[in-house]
Amino acid sequence: DTAVSQTPKYLVTQMGNDKSIKCEQNLGHDTMYWYKQDSKKFLKIMFSYNNKELIINETVPNRFSPKSPDKAHLNLHINSLELGDSAVYFCASSHIWTEDGEKLFFGSGTQLSVL
Amino acid sequence: SQQGEEDPQALSIQEGENATMNCSYKTSINNLQWYRQNSGRGLVHLILIRSNEREKHSGRLRVTLDTSKKSSSLLITASRAADTASYFCATDSSNTGKLIFGQGTTLQVKP
């Protein structure tokens, strides 16, 4: 059973389109994240939700909108895609108020290519 | 930039040898973590060391932390071909899960 699953694994789309990436975790964690990994492998946090509430919102264009319908799901919607949005997007989860709660569990990533 | 730095960027060794990777960071931290990323996959947590700890072991992994120098090292002993991956250090200053990642060390272990 996959602990943190995200779909799709690959997403190829044209500039200007709107797309969504879905993420689900079955670990019972209360916090979920979106991280972006660029072509140089730098990983940077974008958003974090704790029990459906936004707790981290880094300097990300407002074309990116996360949505958390419940604490097991955190989706990422991107409007008006740009070439610079091409990257690998990782969903992650943790249970931050528990022992070892700082440890993150990552999904396998969504490779987004904007043409 | 708050990004940590890892050294070396790439490391190639023979199976059975030890691999050492270093990480430096810029701000005070609550803990430092190491993750492994196999090609085309997500990151997998390896080990966490808290700011009041100096050394930690987990199987073939040994992590040290020197908060005065703002640096950490990851030692993999008796490496195996399956250890081939990228290794990232990540610092946590806020206990919110906001991790600041280093640029990673790409390790190749030749059989």
pLDDT reported for residue B76: 98
- Strand locations in chain A (E): 4-7, 10-13, 19-25, 31-37, 43-50, 53-57, 64-70, 73-78, 87-94, 105-106, 110-114
Residue A40 tokens read as: 């140089």
**Whether B97 and A96 lie within 8 Å, measured CB to CB:** yes
pLDDT reported for residue A59: 78
pLDDT reported for residue B33: 95
Whether the CA torsion B66, B28, A92, A71 is positive or negative: it is positive
B31 and chain A: CB distance < 8 Å anywhere?
A: yes
B4 and chain A: CB distance < 8 Å anywhere?
A: no
| A43 contacts in chain B (CB < 8 Å) | 43, 88, 90, 99, 101
**For chain A, which ranges sit under pLDDT 50?**
none
pLDDT reported for residue A57: 83
**For chain B, which ranges sit under pLDDT 50?**
1-2
**Per residue in B8-37, is it b (16+ CB within 10 Å) or e — as a string?**
eeebebeeeeebbbbbebeeebebbbbbbb
